[in-house]
Chains A and B, each alone.
Chain A
């Protein structure tokens, strides 16, 4: 474990000001979502309950007019089918952009040839590639799911010893299997130098097994906290031999392997052979197919895509789908996104700083810079400050995924600052912007400022803001909703746009 900090998720909380975020019930659908007229909402409506808009808020990094139009034309089911077959979606523009980041996913040998030893450039390029794809890939669902897996089998970038292998891990383990079988992903992760380095397995020996990978493999990657210390010791012995060669590649070294019987979470083996690689892989397969792993993954997917406190019924169903399909993830995703629990979860997730940044870039219609990666680098640095840059979480448990963990005064200010910087074009300056941002968002200026903010909100958030919020937005320009749009509108525009993005509505997804 390499850590700069640790913030594990709370299981539940006392009644505190943050509790309300911990439970999905707290952001009650009735409070935040437009409901049929007969169910009068108790508070201001923050989001529309349009199922297409809801699906796009969850299955993509943020709706755009184009993606909404496409989903409405295809219908939810066909849109989902299409996204679940990313190979059929043309992504040439994004692929072209990624060529500016040649080390992001390069093979270790190529990284070693291109960069000085222990360079951070590969980490930075990989982080920027993740931002670029989230913002501009047409394969949005694939990118969200790849992000999920990267966070699940998390290897921090930067972290020591993986400067040359981290990008390859992302390409050959995470992205390769993101829509495949978890058992395959887990096996390839265990045979990858980045994993073996980050979790100290590479130096484990027969005489002194190193327990780090054995523990995190069970606790974080598979069954969760149901193991005991003898499980850790047995697994650590069983995994000895998995190591990294002098050349920096995966190797199995039988001379390091500790033989002797193991009994780990239902996996029993004599482990008598010096070459224990096959047994180790059988153990990994056992873990991937363990009911506790199914439950843990189902729950985590629900936390990612449904609610901070996922519905137990859905978790149970998805765990069964996972096991019934030999750890394949696509059937699980299909079941998740077509479930009634998903349909009923509008507005129950809050955007992380990363999601907020990407959603803002997409909503504003910002495009990649003409050449180079300065703008991308700036976006990356903004996320570093917010504590949510891709892969930068230091410990191996990955970024937390519940709102309460992210809700802080500094995070709120950083969000607002980003929105204004993007809306005004102050920072980063390099991204390609519409010639007239206001006109690109609202093609025909309405008569009043109130109608203007309504139009901006419909475009950026998907629905008008509550009246009080509209009034608050306009206060920054010294206007009332009834004020007539005047020639000062261009000067006010960045602030109005930023404040719409600052609204409670835009925080929800």
Chain B
């Protein structure tokens, strides 16, 4: 639909291009730690939660030690006396209370002032760039597809996106992945009465590849899904009755069933709060959204138990929000943002950042400057937790960050 990019003003690009940690020379190699093709993947299951619409990292992980924060956000800044956890510089939004125990036990961390190299403020261009994660290259696949391919995983359920029947763009590409609304709904009608699956298999055997591929993936995944469904899923954990809750419950089932899950992609929506982002109290949009997110994550980690030791969860969003609030108790599109990291191998309980500050001189076109490329953060996780060496096959030309945000597996 869109083939043209707007050119952000030079100063913006220059500042960001120069400041972003993680931009190395664009060398291309696909060498990974998985020397032997088909070697069993032993890294963490990587769960990517895409926060759609522009997550306000400045509310979630509030820079309470920065006076400019309260000047810019008189009505929606999170007051110092309401934050939970954190330190004198940053505080967690009170709606994150359900995951505060994870913060305190060192399983949950945040990275701040994170962003993309190209600071477009178009949701659609920004999301496309975030999921492709290889701007300026000819790669058009999704980064999770490349990651999946390099692990050599071949299980029918190695890469799953949950919550939608539509394929996830982050998994666009040559690796086999399965998009599903939910495991229990992944069924073929009539199969209990007639050999429907076999008939479809035969009919699509010689079909054009574009039509045959989803049919083949469905065929493979049906058998695997049936196995997962047949396993006794004994869990006393109650997930919130939200789309995210249902999706994470299914991710947990796949992990516990040892279905060969390497990576799962889940969406969590409605963060575009031009209006009514609101104060940090229940009933306001940001509070309620964060509470939903935190409740689902809390249920997921409780459900996993010790299995969390081999799971890493991260959140990404296409961009953040403007530092200054608007007249609608909201904030318009901005750039620098926060990511949440959760897992047994995360060195949690702290905010990792090269903090640029929020004083007017430190802002970039009214935004928190992004001092760390989000891909560098994911790169550090891929190396520490997923057995990757060079990252070029996933994020061409990106150097991983060196925050020490996870324990090497």
Interface residues of A (CB under 8 A from B): 1-21, 26-27, 31-32, 43-44, 46, 200, 203-205, 207-212, 215, 219, 224-229, 232, 299-300, 303, 350, 353, 385-387, 394-395, 397, 403-414, 416-417, 420-421, 424, 466, 468-469, 471-473, 475-477, 495, 498-499, 502-504, 507
Contact between chains at B140 and A12 (CB < 8 Å) = yes
**A34 to B282, alpha carbons, bound, how many Å?**
62
- Is A16's CB under 8 angstroms from B172's CB? yes
Instruction: Give the CA-CA distance A4 to B318 in the complex, in Å.
Output: 14
| A470 (CB) vs chain B CBs: closest residue | B203
Q: Which residues of B contact A228 (CB under 8 A)?
A: 6-9
Q: Which residues from chain B contact A2 at a C-beta distance below 8 Å?
A: 270, 272
Contact A9 B1 (CB under 8 A): yes
Cβ–Cβ < 8 Å partners of A225 in chain B: 2, 4-6, 122, 125
Taking CB atoms, residues of chain B closer than 8 Å to A12 are 140
Please indicate the chain A residues that have their CB under 8 angstroms from the CB of B168 in the complex.
Answer: 7
Contacts A387-B166, A472-B203; is A200 near B210 (CB within 8 Å)?
no
Is B4's CB under 8 angstroms from A8's CB?
Answer: no
Q: How far is the CB of B1 from chain A (nearest CB, A)?
A: 5
When the two chains form the complex, which single residue of B200, B209, B332 contacts A210, counting CB atoms closer than 8 Å? B332
| A203 partner, pick from B187, B318, B328, beta carbons under 8 A | B328
Q: Which residue of B lies closest to A427 (CB)?
A: B189
Q: Which residues of B contact A (CB under 8 A)?
A: 1-9, 52-53, 121-125, 127-128, 132, 138-141, 163-169, 172-174, 178-181, 185-190, 193-196, 198-200, 202-215, 217-218, 221-222, 243, 267, 269-272, 274-275, 318, 324-328, 330, 332-333, 365
The CA of A16 and the CA of B141, in the complex, are separated in Å by 8
Nearest 7 Cβ contacts at the A-B interface: A208-B327, A409-B218, A472-B202, A20-B210, A203-B328, A472-B203, A21-B210
Docked complex Cα distance between A5 and B8 (Å): 26
Question: Within 8 Å CB of B186, what residues of A?
Answer: 409-410, 413
Contact between A200 and B328, CB atoms less than 8 A apart: yes
B296 CB, nearest partner CB in chain A, Å: 14
Contacts of A504 on B, CB cut-off 8 Å?
Answer: 203-204, 207-208, 211-212
Question: A31 — which chain B residues lie within 8 A by C-beta?
Answer: 208
Shortest C-beta distance, B46 to chain A (Å), equals 20
Enumerate chain A residues within 8 angstroms of B195, measured Cβ to Cβ: 475-476
Nearest neighbor of B3 in chain A, beta-carbon distance: A11
- Measured CA separation A159–B191 after assembly (Å): 37
CB–CB B198/A475 < 8 A:
yes
Contact partner of B6 (CB less than 8 A), chosen from A227, A394, A424, A503, is: A227
Whether the pair A407, B326 counts as a contact (CB closer than 8 A) is: no
Contact B196 A410 (CB under 8 A): no
Known A-B contacts A18-B172, A21-B210; A200 and B275 likewise in contact (beta carbons under 8 Å)? yes
State in angstroms the CA–CA spacing of A228 and B8 once bound together: 7
Choose from A229, A404, A416 the contact partner of B8 (Cβ within 8 Å): A229
A6 to chain B, nearest CB (A): 5
If A17-B209, A228-B6, A409-B214 touch, does A4 touch B52 (CB 8 Å cutoff)?
yes
Quick one: which of B163, B217, B365 contacts A409, CB cutoff 8 A? B217
- Closest B residue to A292 by beta carbon equals B4
Please tell me if the beta carbons of B269 and A210 are within 8 angstroms of each other in the complex. no
Among A232, A299, A350, A387, point to the contact of B211 (Cβ < 8 A). A350
Contact B179 A410 (CB under 8 A): yes
Q: Contact: B208 with A20, CB < 8 Å?
A: yes
> In the assembled complex, how far is the CB of residue A155 from the closest CB belonging to chain B, in whole angstroms?
14
Are A476 and B194 in contact (CB-based, < 8 A)?
yes
Also in contact, A17 and B332, with CB within 8 A (given A410-B180, A498-B190):
no
Residues of A close to B1: CB separation below 8 A: 8-9, 11, 224, 299-300, 303, 397
Contacts of A406 in B (CB 8 A): 166-167
Known: A410-B179, A413-B186, A413-B188. A476 touches B124 (CB 8 A): no
A224 touches B327 (CB 8 A): no
Do A420 and B203 have beta carbons less than 8 Å apart? no
Q: Verify B190–A16 contact, CB threshold 8 A.
A: no
Cβ contact within 8 Å between B274 and A11: no
Task: Report B-chain residues with C-beta under 8 Å of the C-beta of A472.
Answer: 199-200, 202-203, 205
**CA distance in complex: A31, B211 (Å):** 13
Q: Measured between alpha carbons, how far is A273 from B211 in the docked complex, in Å?
A: 58
Q: How far is the CB of A405 from chain B (nearest CB, A)?
A: 7
Complex Cα spacing A461 to B121, Å: 45
Contacts of B167 in A (CB 8 A): 18, 405-408
In the complex formed, the residue of B with least CB distance to A296 is B1
User: What is the chain B residue whose CB lies nearest that of A471?
Assistant: B202
A485 vs B261: C-alpha distance when bound (angstroms): 47
Partner of A413, one of B3, B127, B187: B187
Given contact pairs A200-B275, A385-B181, A394 touches B5 in the complex (Cβ within 8 A): no
Query: B206 and A468: CB pair below 8 A?
Result: yes
Q: Is B328 in contact with A17, judged by CB distance below 8 angstroms?
A: no
Which of B122, B165, B204, B328 gathers most chain A CB within 10 Å?
Answer: B165
Measured CA separation A421–B213 after assembly (Å): 24
Q: Specify the chain B residue showing the minimal Cβ separation from A161.
A: B275
C-alpha spacing A46/B124, complex, angstroms: 35
Q: Is the CB of A468 within 8 A of B4?
A: no
Contacts of A215 in B (CB 8 A): 121-122, 333
On chain A, the residues within 8 Å of B209 by CB distance are 17, 20
